[in-house]
Chains A and B, each alone.
Chain A
Amino acid sequence: SAVISQKPSRDICQRGTSLTIQCQVDSQVTMMFWYRQQPGQSLTLIATANQGSEATYESGFVIDKFPISRPNLTFSTLTVSNMSPEDSSIYLCSVADRDRISYNEQFFGPGTRLTVL
């Protein structure tokens, strides 16, 4: 399985500011995803990060609020823009490799716990 790291692991931010979360994988993977898990809730997919093209966003999430970059097959960033307390959440990066028979497996990074004051 892939080894995934995320930075920062946690942060406390002021309303109106932006935070960029980084996700690094130790091997090339086809697919990278960004999830949000609000307190007491399950994981909600924000977007699929596409290498070399714009991310594919899920309903309710927009690029202006959550810009995503994926410059290569091992790295992606998610920015939470113009933050409000409602953005307080755990943000998780996950990866899957389409080339494996078991590509349906997704492996998750350690997550970033964001608190917005």
Chain B
Amino acid sequence: EDKVVQSPLSLVVHEGDTVTLNCSYEVTNFRSLLWYKQEKKAPTFLFMLTSSGIEKKSGRLSSILDKKELFSILNITATQTGDSAVYLCAVNRDDKIIFGKGTRLHILP
């Protein structure tokens, strides 16, 4: 059965800290791995990863995929209170996206 597992489920850090969120997956017909940020209702797209070892970067956020070990990490450096959200990892297979349960990140001022 296809699955996407995220860890930790929740994380509380202080502003300025660096965090690493983990995502492992087991899916057939893998196409890409996606990261989303969900603050209220609608998830907003962060990254799409298709190739191993190539880091995607956007400001303080970066992500990398390891297709051999079937996992991805999302790094956030110099965290700010506005980074508080649920971060969702998802894997696209055959035009269907399977989501993990998310990591709830809370940044303390």
A contact set with B: CB distance below 8 Å: 1, 31, 33, 41-45, 48, 58, 90, 92, 102, 104-111, 113
Whether B42 pairs with A108 at a CB distance below 8 angstroms is: yes
Whether B88 pairs with A43 at a CB distance below 8 angstroms is: yes
Whether B42 pairs with A92 at a CB distance below 8 angstroms is: yes
* Interface SS of chain A: loop
| Chain A binder among B51-59, B65-73, B77-85, B95-103 | B95-103
Q: Does residue B62 face the partner (Cβ distance < 8 Å to A)?
A: no
Interface residues on B, range: 20 to 34
A36 and B98 alpha carbons, distance in the complex (Å): 12
A91 and B96 alpha carbons, distance in the complex (Å): 17
Given A41-B101, A42-B99: 20 more A-B contacts, CB < 8 Å = A31-B95, A33-B97, A42-B88, A42-B101, A43-B99, A45-B98, A48-B95, A48-B96, A58-B96, A92-B41, A102-B48, A104-B34, A104-B50, A106-B34, A107-B45, A108-B36, A108-B43, A110-B41, A111-B41, A113-B41
Q: Which residue of B lies closest to A108 (CB)?
A: B42
Pick the contact of B32 from A43, A44, A90, A104 — CB < 8 Å? A104
Select the residue from A31, A41, A90, A108 with max chain B CB neighbours within 10 A.
A108
Q: Which residue of A lies closest to B41 (CB)?
A: A111
Whether B97 pairs with A106 at a CB distance below 8 angstroms is: yes
